[in-house]
Structure 1
Amino acid sequence: MTWARHASEQQPETGPIAEARARMAQDEAIANHRAARTVADHALDVHDCRELLAMLGLTTKSAASAL
């Protein structure tokens, strides 16, 4: 026997859980920016900075805003 899955419309999340997730995403973006800035400050050159950011898994977007 198989179960039919009914696709329901996704409602935007609201309430305390949604607020916590939004705050967590904001905190993560701030932490990534700070980390990218620290890496950029200590890198020898642009190539070194890119390599270090890639090793840390930081995005190019956070790196560009740090430089």
Structure 2
Amino acid sequence: MTKPEFHGTGPLDPDGGLAALRGDCVRMVPHWAPPEKSASRPVSPSRIHGVSVPPASARLLDAMSDYGD
């Protein structure tokens, strides 16, 4: 197997490398706002309906071992 030769004085990474990527991220930080905190509350089991599980999936889950076993 031959070793490929590289000619030129520029960086091998055409995108500028890790330093350029980090600089891009720093410039983008003001554009990324975290989502508003929403307090999620437990849902009453009576409100959960319409969920169906195919029999093959139910058998698969039933056959899985539980870490508490």
What is the TM-score with the length of structure 2 in the denominator?
Answer: 0.30
Greater RCO (CA < 8 Å, at least 6 residues apart): 1
What is the TM-score with the length of structure 1 in the denominator?
Answer: 0.30
Q: Which has the larger radius of gyration?
A: 2
Q: Quick check: which one's helix share is greater?
A: 1
